[in-house]
Structure 1
Amino acid sequence: MVSSKKLLLELACLLPIAHGAAIDQRSSPIVDLGYAKYRGVRLDAGVDQFLGMRFAQAPLGNLRFRAPQDPTPEKSVQDASKFGPICVAVGQTADANNAEDCLFVNVFKPSSATLNSNLPVWVYIQGGGYAQNSNSNYNGTEVIKQSGDGLVFVNFNYRVGALGFLASEHVRKDGDLNAGLLDQRKLLHWVQKNIKKFGGNPKHVVIQGASAGAGSVTHHLTAYAAKKDTQLFVGAIPESPFWPTLRAVADMEFQYHQLLANANCSSLNCLRDLDTQALLDAAPNAPFIGAASDNPLPLWYWLPVIDGDLITDHLYNHFERGNFIRVPVLVGDDTNEGTYFAFNATNPSQVSTFLKNNYPYLQDSQLKSIIRAYPLEPPLPKHAAYFPSAEAAYGESTFTCPGNTVAASVARFFNPRRVWNYHYNVLDPDNVANGLGVPHTFETSAVFGPGYSDSAAASYYTTNAAIVPVTMHYFLSFVTKLNPNTAKYHSAPNWDPWGQGTGQRIRLQTNNTAMEPVPFDQIARCNLWNSLQSYTQM
């Protein structure tokens, strides 16, 4: 979600194939999806990649602000040798690599896989705060090879910002709410229909997401209050699940009217007639009603809403009432979840303003309770005195405590031995020097292999190299066996499940991976956030 990652991902989209592997020009595999045939690329590594395939129609014109539709049939063989554009984001310029026409899927499969291989399927949902596609076009080659050619890997784009999450009764009447999440549902149904043609098993699909992708995973676990459409996956991995404010449509109606005013429009049809850039320019972040000030602006402005159908309640309520699909879950977080996002506060008042601007229904007495729970902490390099307090408060409220709630709820309502929790505590010298600690989703390069996701920290090739196979094989084991221990790395310790009561987790740390209890002080702070959820609207 940070600008450096965004730049690297934009550059990566210019590459003709997934980075980290070479093309075998002698073979170009073709897959017939019924609506189109796609010609992919066979890599020397023994992996076939099919990039930039349409899983839905281009959401343009009258399809803007509507649920995704089936792809238009194509008679000629389509090129699947390069990534399609990602979904254009808040604050971006629409161009060849960032576009409104963006509903593309990428599939990586072992070259040896056939229709009868029935391999486990790993579907990755990228993050970006529902404002951008910030983890796009990851390369599944390394996880396939490390699994012994034992899985199929899928990733894709979904609409974000106003294009994905414009909320209004006008949209409900003549469109679809939560279009970005509906894109994800469309992809999951596409997998059910088509993944066997890549050698995958539609009855063994595991969904993983990072940040907003992990928040999306929790929305899919609770979709339709778990009363229908429950057979799309058999396991879930929310990596630092992102639970921002989740409001009713009426609470977000002001955004729609502000967008109309900014665009000099008077109707939804007028917004549909705007070119992409004009709409983006009319949809900047702005203060929430009830915010303490306009500085800082809320981190995330265009967000999912409770629509009464796909999303019927707040996520805390769903999980604590057992309204979720019963599948094994692997969930975790990083030590310093908030350092990428927190305001660089110099005093408690600035911490309060930062939190109030993101959660405007918090009352003064509640903000005082939060400040007491997050007093002055040891300083972090290159940051003001109360930055550590602000980052801890935001990180726990938005990522860590939601993850712990998921784990505890799965243990309570499903099975305490089929949910595993982790705490990622891998120190990178550059992160430490820049006052980031162990930041949000820092484990991603260890999960997919350095160089196969974002640009990896240098220490993953040197002092932290040993954590990569440990982390990767825990994830691979969960994806393929629904248990992180069955096919774990040979020297890795056993990862005990969450269990009963207050829970336990594994600490993933270079040369010091071990089980640990969830700290009592963190449990107390998470209880505070839980008590405030009707005000934070999580």
Structure 2
Amino acid sequence: MFSRLSFVCALAAAAAVGASQPAVTIQNGTVRGVTLPELNQNLFLGIPYAQPPVGELRLRPPRSINASFGTLDATAYGPHCWSAFTTGFDDNSGFQNSEDCLTLNVIQPTNVTQKGPFPVDVWIHGGGLFTGGSADFRYNGSYLVQASIANGAPIVFVSINYRLASFGFLAGKQLADEGSLNLGVRDQRLALHWVQENIAKFNGNPKKVTIHGQSAGSNSVHTQIVAYGGRDDKLFTQAIPQSGSGSRFPQPTDAGLQATFTALLGNTTCASTLNGTAAAQLACVRGLPVDAFRNHSVGTTGIVRDGDFIQTPSVYQSYKTGKWVKVAFLTGSNTDEGRSFARLGANTTADAYNNLTVVPAQFRSRLLELYPDNPELGSPFNTGPFELDPVQNGLFATPGTQNKRVSAIVGDVMEYAGPRFVGQTVAHQVPFYKYRFNHIPYSVSFSVEDFVGHFVEVAYSFNSQNNDTAFWVQNHFTATYLGPGAPVADRFLGFYMSRSWAAFIATGDPNNAKVTSKIAWPKYSEGGQQLVWQTQGSALEKDNFRAEAMDYIIDNVLLGDY
């Protein structure tokens, strides 16, 4: 298996031998990539799919490339899009960043017995819509492609960058009137069109595309499914949303969103336009240096209801009213998602009420009735009557006797009720496979949690073999390395999950994974069961726990009119 270092060395060695480079001619030119003979794969990295969104194109919807770039060296990942952070816990701190960042990567199986065209997986990274990128080696699709080859059903893997933070999700009346909202998800949409137009040249099947993401990437997957009122543009046929079921969409002129735009004006040289026209204000912010724009556009951003790309108050309303593209699903969440997001330090019910910041105030009292002050019932789940000791590195480290109560509520509101609602709503119409990940991961960098938190399943669904402990620690990344040296049980779980994911991408059925001693994974429509992934023996369970509380969340927090 490749480590991160050997993977990088292979790229460098292959790139140094120009004559051996694979070349593919697409609409805008010829791309020259890298061959990884050990994995039977060709890699084409850093391919632009849109015009650079700089200068006059900053804060505008993405535009297709309308000229040839000739021959492109596609042997290195493109830079990540700028994040919202300048220092601190920033997923982009270990990578090159640029405003000219709208690129994608293609991993193509080669020298396989199957002839293709092969199904396609398009990965949309997470990071809260304000950080992350496709060059992150935790998203190395080579191992997922490798799993597909082992299944006997190869896939093509595509990963994309899209604009983040205020570069991609700034709102306000000025941008709304111009039609320049939701730019990051519009970037994703243009990348999906690029796949339709070009992926056949990489032996990919444009009629068999899965959109796949985790966290904000998962929310993006749901957003693409309900975009334009659920209009089917024939861009994808399947979806894998991991740990994220979508969101509510505020109006673009909501106070917090408008305040972010106004602060950008007021804290830069654009302050002189505060009393000017919208055109003058937008022209000014488009002309700001990148650092000035980035450092002074910190505030509320996100996907908003623009009446065009987003037409309903929430993803959930779209599913309820049938305004969604009919695709097959593989989806789920992790056992203790809420522990990763909850505001900790609650010692009384009043503290718990105040710490439920992700829940509108009108629903908190009833939720606290539905989730009693009993640590045995809280998250981390199945850890007995005691609050866990705080982790010593400062993350998740605020003690509180009601932390488990708050974490249970936050997890169900943010990550668990949504997938259950989507399954209950659509599983009778399309194939729908649901899971719960229930394993505290082995880590090679540093432990930030002693629970089954957010993101921890990603290494297993990719079967990540990349390890550079110094890199992960330096850049504050958690990393689970499933190559040699990892516990055997963890390695098998990654082997099993990645083959199941690859089988779903290729065939629409995760049960087609070539794994011995596997468990039959029923569709959700067959009794509402989900597969629990864990090293102590994966198993099926009925997805009906905390039913009264979850129903209240669905009916009020997710679907309520407020």
Query: Which residue of structure 1 aligns with residue 441 of structure 2?
Result: 428
Query: Which residue of structure 1 aligns with residue 364 of structure 2?
Result: 367
* Secondary structure at the counterpart of residue 339 of structure 1: helix
Query: Which residue of structure 2 aligns with residue 484 of structure 1?
Result: 510
Query: Which residue of structure 1 aligns with residue 540 of structure 2?
Result: 515
Query: Which residue of structure 2 aligns with residue 195 of structure 1?
Result: 199
Across the aligned residues of Structure 1 and Structure 2, the Cα RMSD in angstroms comes to: 2.8
Query: Cα deviation per residue 1:163-212 (whole Å; 9 max; x = unaligned)?
Result: 11111231123342100000000000000000001110000101111001
Counterpart of 1:269, as a letter, is: A
- Does the alignment pair 1:528 with 2:521? no
Deviation at 1:525, TM superposition (A): 2.1
Counterpart of 2:367, as a letter, is: I
Deviation at 1:372, TM superposition (A): 2.6
Query: Which residue of structure 1 aligns with residue 378 of structure 2?
Result: none
- Does the alignment pair 1:328 with 2:328? yes
Q: Mapping of 1:175-214 within 5 angstroms? A: 175-214=179-218
- The structure 2 residue matched to 1:150, chosen from 125, 148, 154, is 154
Q: Mapping of 1:13-162 within 5 angstroms? A: 23-24=13-14, 25=17, 27-45=20-38, 46-71=40-65, 73-92=67-86, 97-112=96-111, 117-133=116-132, 136-137=135-136, 138-148=139-149, 150-162=154-166
Deviation at 1:455, TM superposition (A): 6.0
The number of residues matched between the two structures is: 500
- Unmatched runs of 5 consecutive residues or more in structure 1: 1-11, 286-300
Query: Cα deviation per residue 1:37-60 (whole Å; 9 max; x = unaligned)?
Result: 211111122211011110001100
- Does the alignment pair 1:467 with 2:493? yes
CA distance, structure 1, for counterparts of residue 291 and residue 458 of structure 2:
32
Question: Once the two structures are aligned, what percentage of the paired residues are identical?
Answer: 30
Query: Is the CA contact (8 Å cut-off) linking 1:243 and 1:399 kept in structure 2?
Result: no
Counterpart of 1:339, as a letter, is: R
Deviation at 1:115, TM superposition (A): 13
Query: Cα deviation per residue 1:338-374 (whole Å; 9 max; x = unaligned)?
Result: 2222222233434333333x45x533xx211222333
Query: Is the CA contact (8 Å cut-off) linking 1:17 and 1:83 kept in structure 2?
Result: no
Query: Is the CA contact (8 Å cut-off) linking 2:243 and 2:332 kept in structure 1?
Result: yes
CA distance, structure 1, for counterparts of residue 102 and residue 69 of structure 2:
19
Deviation at 1:407, TM superposition (A): 1.4
Query: Which residue of structure 1 aligns with residue 238 of structure 2?
Result: 235
* Secondary structure at the counterpart of residue 411 of structure 2: helix
CA distance, structure 1, for counterparts of residue 203 and residue 328 of structure 2:
23
Query: Cα deviation per residue 1:352-401 (whole Å; 9 max; x = unaligned)?
Result: 33333x45x533xx211222333442412314123222322222111111
Query: Which residue of structure 2 aligns with residue 315 of structure 1?
Result: 315
CA distance, structure 2, for counterparts of residue 228 and residue 50 of structure 1:
28
- Does the alignment pair 1:393 with 2:401? no
CA distance, structure 2, for counterparts of residue 337 and residue 108 of structure 1:
31
CA distance, structure 1, for counterparts of residue 517 and residue 361 of structure 2:
47
- The structure 2 residue matched to 1:247, chosen from 236, 250, 259, is 250
**Further displaced range: 482-491 or 453-462:** 453-462
* Secondary structure at the counterpart of residue 249 of structure 1: coil
Query: Which residue of structure 2 aligns with residue 3 of structure 1?
Result: none
Q: TM-score, normalization: structure 1?
A: 0.86
The verdict on how the C-alpha distance between 1:16 and 1:176 changes in structure 2, with shifts beyond 3 A counting, is farther
Q: TM-score, normalization: structure 2?
A: 0.82
Query: Which residue of structure 1 aligns with residue 290 of structure 2?
Result: 276
**Further displaced range: 504-513 or 368-377:** 368-377
CA distance, structure 1, for counterparts of residue 75 and residue 177 of structure 2:
39
The verdict on how the C-alpha distance between 1:276 and 1:374 changes in structure 2, with shifts beyond 3 A counting, is farther
Deviation at 1:500, TM superposition (A): 5.7
* Secondary structure at the counterpart of residue 126 of structure 2: coil
Deviation at 1:242, TM superposition (A): 5.0
- Unmatched runs of 5 consecutive residues or more in structure 2: 274-280, 376-385, 391-396, 468-476
Deviation at 1:323, TM superposition (A): 1.6
Query: Is the CA contact (8 Å cut-off) linking 2:210 and 2:505 kept in structure 1?
Result: yes
* Secondary structure at the counterpart of residue 465 of structure 2: coil
- Does the alignment pair 1:381 with 2:406? no
